[in-house]
Chains A and B, each alone.
Chain A
Amino acid sequence: MITGAEAIVRCLENEGVDIIFGYPGATIAPLYDKLSKSSIRHILVRHEQHAGHEASGYARIKKRPGVCMTTSGPGATNLITALATAYMDSVPLVAITGQVSSDLLGRDVFQEADITGAAEPFTKYSYLVKDALDLPRIIKEAFHIASTGRPGPVLIDIPVNVQQQRIDFSFAGEVNLRGYKPTIKGHTGQIKRVCKAINSAEQPLICVGGGIFAADGQAELKRFCETLNIPVVSTMMGISAMPSAHPLFMGMLGMHGKTIANQAITDSDLLIIIGARVSDRAVLFPAHVGKNTKIVHIDIDPAEIGKNLSTLIPVVGDAKEILIQILEAEPVRKSEEWTNSLKAKKEKLVLDYGPRENGINPKAFVNQLSRSLPEDHIYCADVGQNQIWSAANCEVRTGRFLTSGGMGTMGYSIPAAIGAKIADPDKAVVAVCGDGSFQMQMMELATISQHGVGIKIVVMKNNKLGLVKEIQKKSYKNNECAVDLSGSPDIVAIAKAYGIPGRRIDNMDEAEDAIAEMLSCQCVYLLECIVDENESSM
């Protein structure tokens, strides 16, 4: 006989879990007690939200579910933003929360929160465990659900008495869920229709989203577009699916995207969307997508198809499998004119990388930063102007670009970078944020120091909530309100207080030296960059 808590630990080990990001509390204490005796490493975060984000960064790099764990009540509710962030970006997470004793459920006892109810819109699935005998099955199912089909967060809420319950333990058998059988292979008939559409297209374009990473299909995408010589644009979540400098890559589309990418969408006669929902930020006015544009939509989630754009040829399945299937059907392009003209346009793009009167040029800086990093570096962008500067200007090669694309959650970059670095300690990982978002996550500097996580942090400081300020300027007659960040601390001093070396620069002349200093440092390093408050995001 073992306890429910021991059973959970055994099941997690059996799933190959090597790390958990979490924060303890009374109702999760039995599990912590057993976890401390297992091979699983625990990273103590400084706020539960970041446990979720760190598990997210870990999951996106490790390509397997990240695990986070908190106590009941506020511990669980603090996790919700991270669950919602992961849900919007289809990141596989398994979140374990403690819960009050099952006989007290519904009585509003100390630290009781209906977390399965509260998190319902933000989880792919959730469990409230009533009997420890169900734990092996539930944990196995949770990992299966989180990581298959369209990935997403799964929540397991476990009352404290269930963790203490003594059971005869045995591992669960194969997962068999009626009504949950994600489609992987594309329908042959649809593949044929896609081929025909490609064969007859004059101006085809690929729009790639975050789904390509879930399918681990970057190599197939590259082969696909190169073989057929079709230009590619990406959504925010699709950045780093292709190297930025690839001649066929035209950049990110959308509200904050490249004009060339948006124009290409309008001009294309065949748009092949791969693993993207094409939200309002990606295509502002879906009705304006070229009247003659045929849309092919490849997605593992049938509910995405036709949700935001009307689709001519839906193909449900795994992006990687489907790209292979389409290539095997040997479509033929008849004209190269369109691709060549886009390539020529891309070469003529003028970059706004000149020096600034005050502060650094953030666009030039992020470009220089990413070019100075190893080619397989992981770049974590936060939310705000820094995200737009990064998305448009950082030079991705073989690494990854991680950001909160769907939810736009401020305070994502540093915890995501921590998770990414722990997932792949050999990679260089940089988090770029603003002074607004930095202050939503700066408590994680303690996590970094405590666990020796060697990430690089860049804070763009303009003393404003820059993106909101821009909205106020554009749409609210310049009525600047509640965007002034006066009162913010000295960020380099804050880093120092956590034992983290750092430096501040306020012009581009110092950029090269500062970047070199940051990268030569073996451990964590924080670089604060002063940016003029009137610097625009585009």
Chain B
Amino acid sequence: MKHVLSALVNNSPGVTSRVSGLFRRRGYNIDSFIGSSTEDERFSRLTIVVRGDDVVIAQVRSQMEKLEDVIAIEDIKPEAMISKVLLFMKVKADINDRVGIIVVASACNAKVIEMSKDYMIFEALDTEERISEMIEIFKPYGIIELVKTGVVAMKR
């Protein structure tokens, strides 16, 4: 079962390493791990997607709460959450494929942000599931390079 943990932590050097070290040491499976500054420069926000049953997730929370730098953690329930993933994808697109690819992209809510004679770069901002579907849809055209963020999430 996937859980999205949102943790408010001190914005100081080494915090990311301490939290990720804890996950590695305890063998917790991380799907994604995102850190960013907040409106208050004293704090950072970590959004961690972790897999495990309720017992494991309870352990993850308690272990994280023990870290001095962790101020608050929330396990955000899917129904109470808005969440997005940002994707950049470079896809092969020669003259024959170009129009078809653009049609597919617009159906997926992806934007063309760069175009050359051989490839196009798309940008998409969507839920994790829809981004995964989109990658599958584009695979047959030939993905040259792909980069995406982990999940960023917020409680409604």
Which residues of chain B have a CB within 8 Å of any CB of chain A? 21, 24-28
Judged by a CB distance under 8 angstroms, whether A114 is at the interface is: yes
| Cβ–Cβ < 8 Å partners of A117 in chain B | 21, 24-25
Judged by a CB distance under 8 angstroms, whether A105 is at the interface is: yes
- Which A275-323 residues sit within 8 Å CB-CB of chain B? none
Interface of B (DSSP majority class): helix
Q: Which residue of B lies closest to A106 (CB)?
A: B26
Instruction: Pick the most buried of B21, B26, B27, B28: most chain A CB atoms within 10 A of its CB.
Output: B27
Q: Which residue of B lies closest to A108 (CB)?
A: B26
| Cβ–Cβ < 8 Å partners of B28 in chain A | 106
| Cβ–Cβ < 8 Å partners of A114 in chain B | 24-25
**In whole angstroms, what is the CA distance A114 to B28 when docked?**
14
Which residues of chain A have a CB within 8 Å of any CB of chain B? 105-106, 114, 117
- A106–B27 touching, CB < 8 Å: yes
| Cβ–Cβ < 8 Å partners of B24 in chain A | 114, 117
Q: Which residue of B lies closest to A112 (CB)?
A: B25
**In whole angstroms, what is the CA distance A106 to B56 when docked?**
11
**In whole angstroms, what is the CA distance A106 to B28 when docked?**
9
Interface of A (DSSP majority class): loop
**In whole angstroms, what is the CA distance A106 to B55 when docked?**
14
Q: Which residue of B lies closest to A104 (CB)?
A: B27
Q: Which residue of A lies closest to B26 (CB)?
A: A106
Q: Which residue of B lies closest to A120 (CB)?
A: B21
Instruction: Pick the most buried of A105, A106, A114, A117: most chain B CB atoms within 10 A of its CB.
Output: A106
- A105–B27 touching, CB < 8 Å: yes
| Cβ–Cβ < 8 Å partners of A106 in chain B | 25-28
**In whole angstroms, what is the CA distance A333 to B77 when docked?**
75
**In whole angstroms, what is the CA distance A394 to B156 when docked?**
74
Apart from A117-B24, A117-B25, list 4 A-B contacts with CB within 8 A. Answer: A105-B26, A106-B27, A114-B24, A114-B25
| Cβ–Cβ < 8 Å partners of B27 in chain A | 105-106
| Cβ–Cβ < 8 Å partners of B26 in chain A | 105-106
CB distance from B28 to the nearest CB of A (A): 8
Q: What are some 11 contacts across the A-B interface (CB < 8 A)? A: A105-B26, A105-B27, A106-B25, A106-B26, A106-B27, A106-B28, A114-B24, A114-B25, A117-B21, A117-B24, A117-B25
| Cβ–Cβ < 8 Å partners of A105 in chain B | 26-27
CB distance from A125 to the nearest CB of B (A): 15
CB distance from A178 to the nearest CB of B (A): 16
Q: Which residue of A lies closest to B27 (CB)?
A: A106
CB distance from A297 to the nearest CB of B (A): 29
